């Protein structure tokens, strides 16, 4: 097994809600790959897909063939894996999809709620040496080769099991920045987030966030893991740890980063889309584009379109992203932004 750093990133249906969320997963994978990690992405079906497939099975009655159900439901994860690989390819990142057969996850027990007993870790390890590896979570097979599943939330178990076998860091990527003492979506006042948390407390409070069976597995092998959101700089660390809470002061006062975009061509609109897809992290204060109609046609909010770059730079923004290209105007605007105390991002080679 390679001695290089390896990370397992689990993307569930709350994160991969639809194909539109694939670029966010690509970015999350890329930022860890760029840091020198070998990255294994374990994916669930898109949000709602498993329920839709299960409903199709139920049309044929309640006395169902469980291996047939497992075979059908596994197609949801296969679709997510294939489309994520395509999205990575479009971004210039090589990836390899490992089919359930190649991963070789063998289960025992209930056909639709099995326990993992082994996997073909050599195949996974070899794929990681070639690039990003993508595995369908939730899916396995019994000793006879029949399709099986790992129960609701089983992608968590897949990720933790493979992380343990690979001696890898494991991050369960969720739609919240960790485990909270109560559900943030159901609380009028933001609840406290655990910075570190024991397995026992995770089982008590995180049943809707992390599959309990996966937590039990992690506890049985003393595997620490993280719960975090896409692009988050914070996480909850789960393990044989004392419960502790993060400082609410900095988190409660955090506001979205205000970003001004200079230019809205192909690259500029791509940046605009990604920023607008994360409203809790970024606020686009304006987009400079001399061809207003083109920007509107691409999908830019008309009220955000500006014609005066200097005016936008001097407005209430934290960061200016230069996307106009060339040298003279770009140089002038960048210098003005820096002189105004603004952060600047640019990939302008000129």
Give residue-wise pLDDT tens across range 93-126: 999 999 999 999 999 999 999 999 999 999 999 9
Of the three residues 217, 250, 283, the one that is the final residue of a domain is 250
Q: What percent of the chain has pLDDT over 90?
A: 74
Domain match, 70 and 168 both: yes
Domain match, 326 and 212 both: no
The total domain count for the chain is 2
Of the three residues 250, 285, 315, the one that is the final residue of a domain is 250
Task: Flag whether 24 is in a domain.
Answer: yes
CATH number, domain of 279, equals 3.40.50.720
Residue 48 has pLDDT above 90, yes or no: yes
Residues 78 and 45: their CA atoms lie apart, in Å, by 8
Task: Flag whether 332 is in a domain.
Answer: yes
Q: What is the residue-averaged pLDDT of the chain?
A: 92
Domain match, 318 and 246 both: no
Residue 248 has pLDDT above 70, yes or no: no
Mean of pLDDT values over 285-297 = 88
Task: Flag whether 1 is in a domain.
Answer: no
DSSP letters for 27-77: HHHHHHHHTT-EEEEEEPPPTTHHHHHHHHHHTT-SS--HHHHHHHHHHHH
Its domain, for residue 115, covers 6-250
pLDDT tens-place string over residues 309-334: 999 999 999 999 999 988 899 999 99
Domain match, 242 and 276 both: no
Domain match, 274 and 132 both: no
Residue 3 has pLDDT above 80, yes or no: no
Of the three residues 231, 250, 269, the one that is the final residue of a domain is 250
pLDDT tens-place string over residues 50-80: 999 999 988 887 778 899 999 999 999 999 9
Tell me the range of 133-137, 182-186, 296-300 where mean pLDDT is highest.
Answer: 133-137
Q: Strands 225-229, 257-262: parallel, antiparallel or unpaired by DSSP?
A: unpaired
Mean of pLDDT values over 136-152 = 95
CATH number, domain of 111, equals 3.40.1160.10
């Amino acid at each position: 097994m390679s001695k290089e750093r390896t990370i397992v990133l689990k993307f569930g249906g709350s994160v991969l809600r639809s194909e539109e969320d694939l670029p966010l997963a690509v970015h999350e994978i890329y930022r860890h790959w760029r840091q020198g990690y070998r990255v294994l992405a374990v994916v669930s079906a898109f949000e709602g897909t498993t329920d839709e497939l299960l409903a199709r099975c139920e049309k044929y009655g309640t006395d169902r063939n469980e291996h047939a159900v497992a075979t059908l439901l596994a197609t949801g994860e296969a679709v997510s894996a294939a489309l994520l690989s395509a999205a990575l390819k479009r971004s210039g990142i090589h990836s390899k999809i490992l089919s359930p057969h190649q991963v070789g996850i063998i289960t025992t027990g209930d056909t639709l709620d099995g326990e993992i007993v082994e996997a073909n870790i050599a195949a996974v390890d070899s794929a990681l040496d070639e690039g990003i590896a993508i595995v369908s979570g939730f899916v396995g097979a019994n000793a006879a080769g029949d399709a099986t599943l790992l129960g609701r939330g089983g992608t968590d178990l897949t990720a933790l099991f493979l992380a343990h076998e690979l001696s890898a860091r494991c991050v369960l990527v969720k739609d919240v920045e960790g485990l909270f003492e109560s559900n943030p979506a159901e609380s009028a006042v933001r609840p406290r987030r655990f910075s570190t948390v024991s397995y026992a407390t995770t089982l008590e409070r995180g049943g809707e966030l992390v599959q309990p069976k996966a937590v039990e597995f992690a506890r049985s092998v003393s595997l620490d893991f993280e719960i975090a959101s896409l692009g988050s700089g914070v996480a909850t660390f789960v393990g044989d740890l004392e419960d502790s809470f993060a400082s609410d002061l900095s988190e409660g006062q955090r506001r979205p980063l205000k970003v001004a975009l200079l230019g809205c061509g192909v690259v500029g609109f791509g940046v605009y889309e990604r920023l607008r897809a994360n409203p809790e992290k970024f606020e686009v204060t304006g987009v400079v584009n001399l061809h207003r109609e083109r920007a509107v046609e691409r999908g830019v909010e008309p009220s955000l379109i500006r014609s005066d770059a200097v005016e936008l730079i001097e407005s209430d923004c934290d960061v200016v992203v230069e996307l106009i290209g060339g040298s003279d105007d770009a140089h002038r605007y960048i210098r003005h932004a820096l002189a105004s105390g603004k952060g600047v991002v640019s990939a302008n080679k000129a």
